[in-house]
Amino acid sequence: MKNHPNLKLCLGIDPNPNKNDLESFRDSVYKHMEILDFCSSSLEHRVIKPQLAYFLSYGSSGILLLEELIARFQKQYTIILDAKFNDISTSFKAYLNFVFHSLGAHGVTLSPFLGEKTIQMAYEEGAKHCGKKARSFVLCATSESSQGHLSFIQSNWKKTLLACSEIRNEIFQGEESLYCTTGVVVAANRNEVLFSDELKESNLSVLAPGLGVQSSDWNVIRNCSNHPNEIIFPFSRAIFSGGNIPIESMNENLITIQQYF
């Protein structure tokens, strides 16, 4: 939606070939890269989100391919590493160094479970390495969550929003241009959070996954047309199908999805 620049299409990089061998995985990654090369000039907002798990499953060879992908597209795209990291402060610092320095990504997803200190570290490190291009997203309201004893974690989404916005306001006081670098993950099917006054008033950026299959209701994108927050919608399977379809089909899928933006 060219009249709604806050809504952004993100290309999810989830290479998951039907054959579980390194050669098939490499071919899948290169298919994704070919589409990224082809469409970089036509996308209004160039954002990609590699899922670390798929690359880790092939060990050092997978990490080398991830490094190759990021190095190749670092200048053309904003790259958010979907890793859902967190740890105690000293260990988390090493994770952040891996993301922002070793790999050269611009953003990361992280868990809030270890508290405000690590969220602050992620926000600060992202801004230090990447400036306004940085994006760090804290898990807030996901599509899969506990229905049992651990359900309290996501039931307290309002407190997660409050914590993230207060941390941002404190560390970027007087630097409102960096507010966009701080965000939360809110699944596209969590309407009670996505359209809440609390989220809108937080002014946090939003990563809204969950529209990855053809049967999903993509009208939520248009329903967000007047949303004040930056909302990034990742699409992976609906475009790339894990790398298991021809490149021509991937391109056709991308063209279809672009009509919603």
Residue 216: the pLDDT is 62
Q: Residue 173 belongs to a domain with what CATH number?
A: 3.20.20.70
In a domain, 1, yes or no: no
pLDDT in tens, 214-249: 446 788 999 999 999 999 999 999 999 999 999 999
Angle at 53 between CA 50 and CA 56, to 5 degrees: 105
In a domain, 37, yes or no: yes
Percentage of the chain modeled with pLDDT above 90: 82
Containing structural domain, residue 201: 7-258
Secondary structure (3-state) at 51: strand
Task: Give the span between the Cα atoms of 210 and 161, in whole angstroms.
Answer: 20
Burial class (CB in 10 A: 0-12, 13-18, 19+), 80: buried
Residue 259: the pLDDT is 87
pLDDT in tens, 137-148: 999 998 877 677
DSSP 8-state assignment for residue 133: G
- At 261, the pLDDT band (50, 70, 90 cuts) reads confident
Specify the amino acid at residue 25: F
- At 213, the pLDDT band (50, 70, 90 cuts) reads low
Specify the amino acid at residue 176: E
Angle at 47 between CA 41 and CA 49, to 5 degrees: 135
φ, ψ of residue 153 in degrees (nearest 5): -60, -50
pLDDT at 79 over 60: yes
Task: Give the span between the Cα atoms of 100 and 107, in whole angstroms.
Answer: 7
In a domain, 79, yes or no: yes
CB 11 within 8 A of CB 37: no
Residue 144: the pLDDT is 74
Specify the amino acid at residue 48: I
CB atoms within 10 A of CB 90: 7
Domains contained in the chain, number? 1
pLDDT in tens, 15-64: 999 999 999 999 999 999 999 998 877 776 789 999 999 999 999 999 99
Query: From the centroid of its chain, how far is CA 249?
Result: 24
In a domain, 178, yes or no: yes
In a domain, 2, yes or no: no
CB atoms within 10 A of CB 75: 8
- At 3, the pLDDT band (50, 70, 90 cuts) reads low
Residue 214: the pLDDT is 45
Question: Model pTM?
Answer: 0.94
In a domain, 219, yes or no: yes
